Chains A and B, each alone.
Chain A
Amino acid sequence: MTEQRDPHGREGSGPDGQASDAAAPVPETTVWQQLTSFRGNSSRGTDIALGAVGFALLLAIWSGLVVFEVVPKQYLASPQAVVVRLWELLTKYDFLDDIWISIYRVWFAFFLSAIVAIPLGILMSSFRIVNGLTEPIIDFIRYLPVPALVPLTVIWLGIGEASKIALLWMGTFFQLVLLIADDARRVPREYVEVGMTVGAKPSQVLRHIILPAMLPSMVDNLRITLGWCWTYLIIAEIVASDSGIGYVIWSARRYVKTPEVMAGILAIGIIGFLTDQFIRWLHRRAFAYLR
């Protein structure tokens, strides 16, 4: 996956100003030199191309492993078999319903996480008493492995939707709230003091300064946390469920239907990738002022 933060490349040509002297020939660099230069410039086009090359390489290695039977067929299906299976699942076996239910679970739990974590995180950064009371608890729970909580959620909430949502919520909330609190703390002190010296009350400083100032990094953290949601979703759906992508994967495993297992994984990968790219795109649009 391409990890690019600056789609338009760095501004200008650096302090040595390559364009300063029209007569001096610019030393020629090969494409290879440009791509491998230490912390060199990047452009949107090359980033996309490199990403595609990465995927192609992965596919090639995968195909190679299957074609030359380095790994037996029942353990590793060929890319074509996986895609074909995914298509069959979608068209003949109502896999789309499972995808929707999984997406719904992820987004609903994530939404519940965010609407509690955002205000609490901001309050933690603003008031010592809130931070003092909550941070040790959050830090403690944060280190509990989510799978260890599965039995409890099943005992408390049964095997319906509630237990899955609860599990996802616990997996993301305690991480997210600390990230949000950090985002709020990183707002420059000067911004806050500007607010106070133009007569803003604390609540106005929060709303009109801290919130807009922390928003870009907060959206980034939400994006990353949304990714974790998918991890916990599969755990939740494997343990107690009769629907969802995780359920499909787990049922297929029982009959060693490797192509079907891999098709499920592929579906998650595609959804995750598209969501991630979409939020990045939104980020670039909404926070164009950062560049």
Chain B
Amino acid sequence: MNNDRFIVIDRVSKEFGAHGKSAAVRVIDDVSMKIGRGEFIVFLGPSGCGKTTLMRIVGGLEAASCGQVRLDGATVTGPDRKKGMVFQSYSSFPWLDVIGNIRFGMRFRDDISAAEKERLAQYYLELVGLRGFEGYRVNRISGGMRQRLAIARTLAAGPDVLLMDEPFGALDAQNREFLQEQLVGIQKSEQKTVIFVTHDVEEAIFLADRIMLFSARPARVLQEIRVGDHIGTQRPLAVKSTQAFFALRNSILDVTRRLALQTEKIMLQGGMFPA
């Protein structure tokens, strides 16, 4: 299989159905892109623009109205463990402890033995830095730890692609930065393909190999930014204070500011609200 076309989004559109008098709302408008194996892609765009919906279509959690998504050559028809998902909200199960939640990611795998599952559970526990907390109840650990736990559980399922929906959105600035740095490390060591949705420009630049900048609703790809060409492929935290980082950030912010105004106008005119 061609590694540059690991995920193919092929002319995908999405409309949310007409309810009674209200007409159908188009949230994604004819979006196409190719994503390479191991690539870190960030969907950046204004809130409610449809970028999360597009990611959910890739994950098989939502069906496209038009077009299709192919993962490793196969058309996506529904969710499975090949498309792992990390949600914005805390999605770990409160009735399980930390290690129990990681094990849950492997519960329905029959491709590996029980012993291998246990080894992997310990490995991912270590990888996300939760060693020592394995017996803790989920609501006794911090928000940042819960998101690391969600990442560990998702990785444990052995996905081909990691879909992350503003996973650090609810965290404070320090935690956010810490988790971004950890995520970069994890992605490098695990060689995972990642699609990461955010509206935070700095987060996008710091994490991405490539940023897909989306328009206000309906979502179209406005711009594709190869971040490596601007700030290089190495991402120590210090890269955030380089001249190149600022320059890129400002040029993207320029575009997003105009977008934000545009979105507001659409919302006021059409009475549309984020799905």
By a beta-carbon cutoff of 8 Å, the part of chain A in contact with chain B is 188, 190-191, 193-194, 196-201, 204, 208-209, 212-213, 215, 287, 289-290
Report B89-123 residues with CB < 8 Å from chain A CB.
Answer: 89, 91, 93-95, 104-109
B84 x A198 contact (CB < 8 A): yes
- Known pairs A188-B91, A194-B93, A196-B79; list 18 more (Cβ under 8 Å): A191-B91, A193-B85, A193-B87, A193-B91, A194-B91, A194-B153, A198-B106, A198-B107, A198-B108, A198-B153, A198-B154, A198-B156, A198-B157, A199-B109, A204-B108, A213-B95, A215-B95, A289-B137
Q: Would you list 12 pairs from A and B whose C-beta atoms are within 8 A, ordered by A residue?
A: A188-B91, A191-B93, A194-B153, A197-B79, A197-B84, A199-B80, A204-B108, A208-B104, A209-B93, A287-B95, A289-B95, A290-B139
Classify the secondary structure of A's interface with B. Answer: helix
Contact with A197, one of B93, B95, B107, B157 (Cβ below 8 angstroms): B157
A197 x B89 contact (CB < 8 A): no
Roughly how many angstroms separate A204 CA and B80 CA in the complex, as a whole number? 13
A197 x B108 contact (CB < 8 A): no
| CB-nearest residue of chain A to B56 | A193
Q: Is B61 part of the binding interface, using a Cβ–Cβ cutoff of 8 Å?
A: yes
Roughly how many angstroms separate A200 CA and B91 CA in the complex, as a whole number? 16
Please give the distance in Å from A176's CB to the nearest CB on chain B.
Answer: 23
A190 x B89 contact (CB < 8 A): yes
Roughly how many angstroms separate A191 CA and B92 CA in the complex, as a whole number? 8
Q: Is B83 part of the binding interface, using a Cβ–Cβ cutoff of 8 Å?
A: yes
Please give the distance in Å from A245's CB to the nearest CB on chain B.
Answer: 38
By a beta-carbon cutoff of 8 Å, the part of chain B in contact with chain A is 59, 61, 78-81, 83-85, 87, 89, 91, 93-95, 104-109, 137-139, 153-154, 156-157, 159
Please give the distance in Å from B102's CB to the nearest CB on chain A.
Answer: 11
Please give the distance in Å from B216's CB to the nearest CB on chain A.
Answer: 25
A213: B residues at CB distance < 8 A: 93, 95
Roughly how many angstroms separate A88 CA and B94 CA in the complex, as a whole number? 50
Classify the secondary structure of B's interface with A. Answer: loop
B109: A residues at CB distance < 8 A: 199
| CB-nearest residue of chain A to B88 | A190
Please give the distance in Å from B97's CB to the nearest CB on chain A.
Answer: 9
The 7 closest A-B pairs by CB, nearest first: A199-B81, A196-B79, A199-B108, A198-B157, A190-B91, A197-B85, A190-B87
Most buried by B among A188, A197, A215: A197
Please give the distance in Å from A95's CB to the nearest CB on chain B.
Answer: 42
Roughly how many angstroms separate A73 CA and B88 CA in the complex, as a whole number? 67
Most buried by A among B61, B108, B153, B159: B108
A208: B residues at CB distance < 8 A: 104, 107
Please give the distance in Å from A201's CB to the nearest CB on chain B.
Answer: 8
B91: A residues at CB distance < 8 A: 188, 190-191, 193-194
Roughly how many angstroms separate A198 CA and B91 CA in the complex, as a whole number? 13
| CB-nearest residue of chain B to A216 | B95
A290: B residues at CB distance < 8 A: 94, 139
Roughly how many angstroms separate A290 CA and B139 CA in the complex, as a whole number? 8
Contact with B107, one of A200, A212, A289 (Cβ below 8 angstroms): A200
Please give the distance in Å from B136's CB to the nearest CB on chain A.
Answer: 11
Please give the distance in Å from A214's CB to the nearest CB on chain B.
Answer: 11
Contact with B104, one of A193, A198, A201 (Cβ below 8 angstroms): A198
B61 x A289 contact (CB < 8 A): no
| CB-nearest residue of chain A to B109 | A199
B108: A residues at CB distance < 8 A: 198-201, 204
A197: B residues at CB distance < 8 A: 59, 61, 79-81, 83-85, 154, 157, 159
| CB-nearest residue of chain A to B150 | A194
B81 x A198 contact (CB < 8 A): yes
A198: B residues at CB distance < 8 A: 81, 84, 104-108, 153-154, 156-157
Roughly how many angstroms separate A208 CA and B100 CA in the complex, as a whole number? 12
| CB-nearest residue of chain A to B110 | A199
A188: B residues at CB distance < 8 A: 89, 91
Roughly how many angstroms separate A75 CA and B65 CA in the complex, as a whole number? 73
B95 x A212 contact (CB < 8 A): yes
Most buried by B among A196, A208, A209, A287: A196
Contact with A199, one of B61, B89, B94, B157 (Cβ below 8 angstroms): B157
Roughly how many angstroms separate A87 CA and B159 CA in the complex, as a whole number? 68
Please give the distance in Å from B196's CB to the nearest CB on chain A.
Answer: 16
Roughly how many angstroms separate A188 CA and B88 CA in the complex, as a whole number? 13
Roughly how many angstroms separate A6 CA and B173 CA in the complex, as a whole number? 32
Most buried by A among B78, B79, B80, B105: B79
| CB-nearest residue of chain B to A209 | B93
A289 x B80 contact (CB < 8 A): no
Please give the distance in Å from A217's CB to the nearest CB on chain B.
Answer: 13
A209: B residues at CB distance < 8 A: 93
B104: A residues at CB distance < 8 A: 198, 208
**A199-B157, A289-B137 in contact; A193/B79 too (CB < 8 A)?**
yes
A215: B residues at CB distance < 8 A: 95
| CB-nearest residue of chain A to B83 | A197
A196: B residues at CB distance < 8 A: 61, 78-80
A190: B residues at CB distance < 8 A: 87, 89, 91
